[in-house]
């Protein structure tokens, strides 16, 4: 749950700041302080991006006649409509666009420890739908980079003595981060490897950790079946569940037997299977009694009487 609740892949800071702001130095220092505070509060190498909201209009085709002309030519020669042609989102202006903007963007990147791909400029006057979609794509790319960095770090870790518990832990982390990265095929492969590792090393399970092991195996089995259904492998999901039941179905009996070996008094009342069987028997008996009651004449007369009473009340 760490990477869901406590460690974000990307933190986006929105600032209302124009390149020609009268208090540029103070605003720049404020941005540096906020970025440093965000990094210190997370402390897990989360990516930080800054979006500058500027009081200017969204550029239109009239702003750049050459771009409009070339885009029209490209649409014609490639048989595209204007809605099928997209321009890559460039976050930081270049020197040919605006020397002041280029200089101050470079200053902001340096003082806030950002790369040019982590600084974005959005004009807030006009239609923002295009900028929103481009920002979404850029943020997704930055988040993907964070998870890729974490995956590389986990793969680089050595496992002392090839401990089965540590191998399963590493494989589960790789699978979970791959799932967050939306690489479900890699996640499925690592979940399956972790499951096989658990199944093949049952004899090495510590007696005191056996409940934890079985919980982990159950979770891995669930994730494998879930991803099988996601990949349209319903038959494989069903077969996986059957294999899981075949291997681990005798688990409660084995736990009870091991507890007896460790000194537990072998009383029938302490076997959870006894209570489960009694509960099932009582449930079955109650259902039979309900069916018999519904077929009895007294119940039928009572039902008819209630229906007649309800009808007379509606008439009144």
User: Residue 86: is its pLDDT beyond 60?
Assistant: no
Label residue 293 by pLDDT band (50, 70, 90): confident
User: Residue 181: is its pLDDT beyond 80?
Assistant: yes
Lowest mean pLDDT among 75-89, 130-144, 246-260, 262-276: 75-89
CB 156 within 8 A of CB 85: no
- CA-to-CA separations, 120 to 49, 107, 126, 251, in angstroms, rounded: 8, 14, 17, 56
User: Residue 228: is its pLDDT beyond 60?
Assistant: yes
Mean pLDDT (whole number) for 275-289: 86
C-alpha neighbours within 13 Å on the C-beta side of residue 3: 16
Both tokens of 211, joined, read 């409940």
pLDDT at position 312 is 59
User: Residue 88: is its pLDDT beyond 50?
Assistant: no
Which residue in 218, 273, 204 sits closest to 248, CA to CA? 218
User: What tens digit of pLDDT does each residue of 11-23 get?
Assistant: 999 999 888 888 8
Phi, psi values for residue 5, rounded to 5°: -105, -35
- Tell me whether residue 251 is exposed, middle or buried, using C-beta atoms within 10 angstroms of its C-beta: 0 to 12, 13 to 18, 19 or more: middle
Label residue 171 by pLDDT band (50, 70, 90): very high
Phi, psi values for residue 52, rounded to 5°: -95, 120
**Cα distance between residue 92 and residue 121, in whole Å:** 7
CB 187 within 8 A of CB 176: yes
**Cα distance between residue 307 and residue 311, in whole Å:** 6
Both tokens of 227, joined, read 């991803």
Label residue 67 by pLDDT band (50, 70, 90): low
Q: Which residue has the higher pLDDT, 297 or 223?
A: 223
Interaxial angle between packed helices 164-180 and 184-200, expressed in degrees from 0 to 180 and rounded to the nearest 10: 160
DSSP state of 202: G
Lowest mean pLDDT among 40-44, 202-206, 238-242: 202-206
Both tokens of 173, joined, read 């982390």
User: What tens digit of pLDDT does each residue of 99-143 get?
Assistant: 888 888 899 999 999 988 899 988 887 778 888 888 999 999 999
* Averaged pLDDT of the chain: 81
pLDDT at position 214 is 81
């Amino acid at each position: 749950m760490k990477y869901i609740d406590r460690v974000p892949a990307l933190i986006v800071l929105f600032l209302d700041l124009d390149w020609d702001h009268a208090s540029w130095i103070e605003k720049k220092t404020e941005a540096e302080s906020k970025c440093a505070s965000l990094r210190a509060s997370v402390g897990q190498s989360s990516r930080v991006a800054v979006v500058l909201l500027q009081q200017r209009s969204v550029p239109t085709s009239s702003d750049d006649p050459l771009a409009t002309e070339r885009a029209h030519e490209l649409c014609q020669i490639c048989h595209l409509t204007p809605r099928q042609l997209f321009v890559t989102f460039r976050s930081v202006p270049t020197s040919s666009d605006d020397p002041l903007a280029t200089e101050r963007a470079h200053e902001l990147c340096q003082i806030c420890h950002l790369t040019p791909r982590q600084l974005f400029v959005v004009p807030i006057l006009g239609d923002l739908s295009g900028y929103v979609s481009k920002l979404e794509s850029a943020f997704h790319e930055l988040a993907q980079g964070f998870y890729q960095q974490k995956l590389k770090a986990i793969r680089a870790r050595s496992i002392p003595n090839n401990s089965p518990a540590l191998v399963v832990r590493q494989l589960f982390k790789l699978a979970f981060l791959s799932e967050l990265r939306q690489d479900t095929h890699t996640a499925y492969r690592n979940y399956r490897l972790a499951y096989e590792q658990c199944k093949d090393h049952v004899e090495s399970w510590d007696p005191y950790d056996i409940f934890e092991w079985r919980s982990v195996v159950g979770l891995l089995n669930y994730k494998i079946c879930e991803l099988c259904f996601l990949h349209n492998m319903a038959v494989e999901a069903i077969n996986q569940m059957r294999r899981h039941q075949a291997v681990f179905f005798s688990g409660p009996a084995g736990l009870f037997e091991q507890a007896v070996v460790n000194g537990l008094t072998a009383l029938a009342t302490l076997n959870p299977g006894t209570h489960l069987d009694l509960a099932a028997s009582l449930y079955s008996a109650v259902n039979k009694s309900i069916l018999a009651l519904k077929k009895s004449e007294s119940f039928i007369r009572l039902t008819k009487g209630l229906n007649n009473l309800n009808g007379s009340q509606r008439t009144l």
